[in-house]
Amino acid sequence: MEEIKQVILVRMDIEMGRGKLAAQVAHASLMSYFSAEKINKKVAQEWLSTGEKKIVLKVEDDKVLKKLFEAFKYKEIPCALVSDAGHTQLPPGTITALGVGPWKDTEIDQFTKGFKLL
């Protein structure tokens, strides 16, 4: 059976405190999970029952996140792009992170294998 995981990609070109960064990662994880649950409940449940594997990676800017988001959408891989509400450190609408999956790791890795761990 193929492994199921979730990948969160976070922008490194904007200044965010550690708490803000953690919140953006959490938003990406939850939003992407709900997307996966709509697309394939079985995969989402398997991920929940096998330890909820997550990988957090760094990206250089929002252009990369937008391109990846479009690629995952095209391949029908569950994903969610996070835009900040602008209540604290960032202007409203700032794209901060992208959540992908839970989904089959080989399908996610096609797009994410070149990025470094956060």
- Over the stretch 80-90, which tens digit does the pLDDT of each residue have? 999 999 888 99
| Residue 88 resides in a domain | yes
**pLDDT by residue (tens digit) across 40-61?**
999 999 999 999 999 999 999 9
User: Which two three-digit tokens encode residue 86?
Assistant: 């602008």
**What is the three-class DSSP state of 14?**
coil
Is 117 a member of any domain? Answer: no
Please state whether 80 falls in left (phi above 0), alpha (psi between -120 and 50) or beta. Answer: beta
| Domain presence at residue 91 | yes
**Which amino acid, 45?**
Q
Residue 104 lies in a domain: yes
Domains: count for the chain: 1
What pLDDT is recorded for position 2? 85
| Whole-structure pTM value | 0.95
User: For residue 35, what is the domain's CATH number?
Assistant: 3.40.1490.10
Is 118 within the bounds of a domain? no
pLDDT higher than 70, residue 1: no
Residue 54 lies in a domain: yes
Q: Are 57 and 9 in contact (CB under 8 A)?
A: yes
Provide the domain limits for residue 43.
4-112
